[in-house]
Structure 1
Amino acid sequence: MAYDRYVGICHPLRYTVIMNPCRCGLLNLFSLFISLMDGLLHTLMMLRLSFCTNLEIPHFFCEIAQIIKLSCSDNFIDNILIYIVVCIFAGVPLSGIIFSYVHIVSSVLRMPSSGGKHKAFSTCGSHLSVVSLFYVTAFWVYISSAVSDSPRKTAEASVMYTVAPQLMNPFIYGLRNKDMKEALKKLISGIAVL
């Protein structure tokens, strides 16, 4: 999405040439391939672990860090692999997002009309809010699991980064619609009257 926004704002006249269906398909296939390779890598690493008697995961879903904690065998390599993969899969996209938004902000600030600036910033604001929500909560999961050993707090944070951004998407992107804004204003004014 950051690349799409970058091309749409920084190169608006060449958007259809740059973001053609072939390139969109390749970006989707690349994302799918990377995700499959990550899943396969972690699955193969899990196969070499042995597990003790306690096989209950104190979590809502089968997260890799919780599975590693249940292992009786040495899991040092698995923990190192997790941190390397997190750095790559979180760091590379985050740096790409930051790079694209630096270019977007510099392009928007060079725009002569304030209406164009407002439209560009409002378009990017919704994307940045969802991305920020995801990265902050995901970062919190890994930091909280490293600092505290509370499975409950880790589970709550995991739900936040897996559910909250997807739950917030319709609201964040819906509030860009005039009808949604008017309905929200009526709802808030109705509540304020009560």
Structure 2
Amino acid sequence: MKYSLKKIAIITEIIGGIAIIVSLIFVGFQFRENTIATKSATANSANGMTVDWYTATGNSAQSSQLMWDYLKDPKSIKSTGEIYQATILIHGLILSFQNSYYLTNQGTLDQNVQESLTAAIRAVKEQPGWQEYWQNRKSLFFVEFRDYVDLIMNSESEVSEGIYENLKKEETEANISD
């Protein structure tokens, strides 16, 4: 059987076309797997920033007490250095929240992460220290994140977590004893 050069060229083009289609399918699968891996690594990193903050603050008796006192009543802290430290502690946490907010809006983080952050802000939104911090520092954040936090601050809903109820209870007891 004789093949003409033209027939061989057509067969070669068909085989080449099939190879390109197979390659594109393979690249598509690889791209999807890479996207999932990148999203997972980004989510892990974003979550790690927040966990690191909580761990570092929780493992330091001085930082934990300072945050407790600042949230409860920022006016009770007389040292400029401690006010600065409390402000920086909160700022570090809220920067990680802002990062997670943007990653969620880009679709990199699951919406559940955003809901968790929203609950954390709702839990402290009535605390005098948080309110003072947010009023003094919110201009340092991106407009979209600022609007998001302001929306939470102005909402009626609260998260009832025992630790913050203890702050309210201590504040009420202190007012009664005055």
The two structures have a TM-score, normalised by structure 2, of 0.38
Q: Which has the larger radius of gyration?
A: 2
The two structures have a TM-score, normalised by structure 1, of 0.35
